[in-house]
């Protein structure tokens, strides 16, 4: 079994080669993709529509300024797809969110279920991690990785430079 990461696909999940002939790549994230097959390059057969339907990702970007004020900006289309693949700590041009005079640093985010992103978790999937609370009690909780994928709904940023 070969594990394949196909970041150019919409589902951004890992796939594995099936045992059929010709070899097929079966996507593990069956919500977005029916089957993936190998035809020189990786091709995707989408459920119920074209690739453009699934490419429309939308984020709510929360920009926090140094004076303590925050602003929520809704980003979709090409500007939203520029965020995919970035990680916590990456710097982004403010023109992606309509603030060309600022440089933004990604500080976190959360998915539609409210699971927050953690910087020290690689990838963009959900992971159960053991964390301590203030009293020292350890608890296993679900957290999302540090990479922005389509499942992230909110992206938290901080304005660092006014340029």
- Token pair for 53: 């339907």
Residues 35 and 115 grouped into a single domain: no
Q: What is the pLDDT of residue 138?
A: 96
Structural domains counted in the chain: 2
Do both 46 and 94 map to the same domain? no
The residue segments making up the domain with residue 47 are 3-54
Same structural domain for residues 28 and 78? no
Q: Which of 13, 29, 54 is the last residue of a domain?
A: 54
* Residue 136: predicted pLDDT: 94
| pLDDT tens readout for residues 91-146 | 999 999 999 999 999 999 999 999 999 999 998 899 999 999 999 999 999 999 99
The string of pLDDT tens digits covering residues 143-158 is 999 999 999 999 999 9
- Give Cα 64 to chain centroid, integer Å: 20
pLDDT in the model for residue 77: 86
Q: What is the pLDDT of residue 162?
A: 78
Tell me how far apart the alpha carbons of residues 1 and 93 are, in angstroms, rounded to a whole number. Answer: 40
Q: Is pLDDT larger for residue 134 or for residue 53?
A: 134
Q: For 12-35, how does the pLDDT look when each residue is reduced to its tens digit (9 = 90+)?
A: 344 444 444 444 444 444 444 444
Q: What is the dihedral of CA 96, 100, 101, 107, to 10 degrees?
A: 0
67 with 137, same domain?
A: yes
pLDDT at 41: 42
The per-residue DSSP string of 55-86 comes to H--EEEEEEE-TTS-EEEEEEETHHHHTTTT-
Verify that 26 and 63 share a domain, yes or no.
Answer: no
Same domain as 60, residue 49: no
């Amino acid at each position: 079994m070969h594990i394949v990461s196909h970041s150019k696909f919409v589902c951004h999940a890992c796939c594995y080669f099936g045992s059929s002939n010709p070899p097929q790549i079966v996507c593990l994230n069956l919500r977005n993709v029916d089957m993936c097959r190998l035809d020189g390059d990786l091709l995707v057969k989408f459920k119920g529509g074209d690739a453009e339907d699934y490419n429309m990702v939308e984020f709510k970007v929360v920009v926090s300024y140094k004076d303590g004020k925050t602003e929520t900006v809704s980003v979709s289309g090409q500007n939203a797809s520029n965020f995919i693949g970035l990680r916590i700590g990456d710097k982004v041009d403010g023109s992606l969110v309509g603030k060309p005079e600022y440089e933004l640093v990604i500080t976190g985010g959360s998915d539609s279920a409210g699971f927050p992103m953690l910087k020290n978790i690689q990838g963009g999937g959900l992971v159960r991690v053991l964390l301590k609370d203030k009293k020292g009690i350890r608890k296993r909780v679900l957290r999302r990785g540090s990479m922005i994928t389509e499942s992230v709904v909110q992206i938290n940023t901080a304005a660092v430079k006014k340029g």
